Amino acid sequence: MSVQTESPFTVRLRTMPQRNPARLEEVANGRIAHTLTACTRCRQRKSRCDPGIPRCEPCQRSNAKCVYYDPARNRTISRTYILQLRERIKILSQELAQVENEISHSTDAEFMIRGAGLIKFKETDEPRFLGPSSGITITRLIMEIAKQNTNSKSIKEVVNEATAQEIKYAFTLESQKPTSKIYPMISSVAEPNLPPRELAYRLIDIFMAKGKLHASRPPFNSLSLD
């Protein structure tokens, strides 16, 4: 008759203290930070500590305050602080998801209009705004692109004389209309509905202050307004 003996490893497993099943389930679900060090109480007592939140099992049984030492901050921190951080992360994640959802479903008319006014002539170019008075500007830009794609150095070699005269004549007719959108860069006649001079200067100051964001390509120089 043979007698089966337990191996030392089996004896160790059988004699190990049983842990709280609820806490083991929390660890299995990944809800416990495994980087937590032993709490101060367990260190002083040299007892086994676990990463339980908000208190380890020994502190839970003794109804003691569970804190651990953070060497980075050189002070003790309660494990309830981790719960506060988790709640804060949860709130921020919800707010971020809400903002991303609002942005993805945004139908901002002004944004769409501004985007429609931006034209990119090259893949590497920055978008340029072409407003209602940019008919001549866009024509010049098109001519520049045409010259870059040909061996010609002059616009006359790209567009023949007859076509150039037709374009010039069309712009002349458009500029003579009362509702023309081709405005001169500088006008000798003041707009009758302009605001008072003090208010105009104030608006210019605000515009120039905001325009510092586009200092590389300012729309006009403040000295030219004097």
Per-residue pLDDT, 90: 92
DSSP state of 46: T
Per-residue pLDDT, 9: 46
Per-residue pLDDT, 99: 85
Determine how β-strand 128-129 pairs with β-strand 67-70.
unpaired
Domains with residue ranges and CATH for the chain: 18-106 (4.10.240.10), 111-182 (no CATH)
Per-residue pLDDT, 92: 93
In the block, residue with structure tokens 């099992």? 57
Which portions of the chain are predicted below pLDDT 70? 1-36, 104-160, 174-192, 210-226
Distance of CA 159 to the CA centre of its chain: 45
Per-residue pLDDT, 207: 75
Per-residue pLDDT, 32: 44
Angle (CA) 121 127 129, round 5° = 105
Tell me the pLDDT tens digit for each residue of 121-159: 556 655 555 554 455 556 666 666 666 666 665 656 666
What is the C-alpha R_g of the chain? 38
d(CA 220, CA 208): 9
